[in-house]
Amino acid sequence: MEFEELKGTIKDIDVAERRTDNDNYLEVVIVKRNLAALLFKLDTFFGPVACTGESVLVPSVRQVIKEFGGLTTGQTLYFYEKAGNFIFVMLWPWHDGEHITLKFVRK
């Protein structure tokens, strides 16, 4: 599955808000009830979660995700790198426990 195909499957999930959608970036807000379906798709594409907080990331990965807000404890990163090309997803749960901001990036 390539970036565009995964982006299409993410967009097919019922979202609460669409914020940004361009060639290399998709940002949406999903509701928690849709999280299991989303995680299945992400696990299939990326494999296991890269991390759930920035502290364990190598500096090069931290630098790549920094311009998109980075990660703090409780947030999730899926990350793929091949030949200097990066694809990643960041999941940021809201304090309300019901919403999650998803940032999907090709860089």
pLDDT tens digit sequence for 57-104: 788 888 888 888 888 888 999 988 888 888 999 999 999 999 999 999
Length of the chain: 107
Give the H/E segment covering residue 27: strand 25-31
pLDDT of the residue at 60:
80
pLDDT, average across residues 36-64? 84
Distance between start and end Cα atoms, the chain: 17
Structure tokens at 74: 């409780």
Domain holding 102, by residue range, is 3-106
Side chain identity, residue 60 = S
Position 89 scores a pLDDT of: 94
CA–CA separation, 92 vs 77, rounded Å?
9
Domain count within the chain = 1
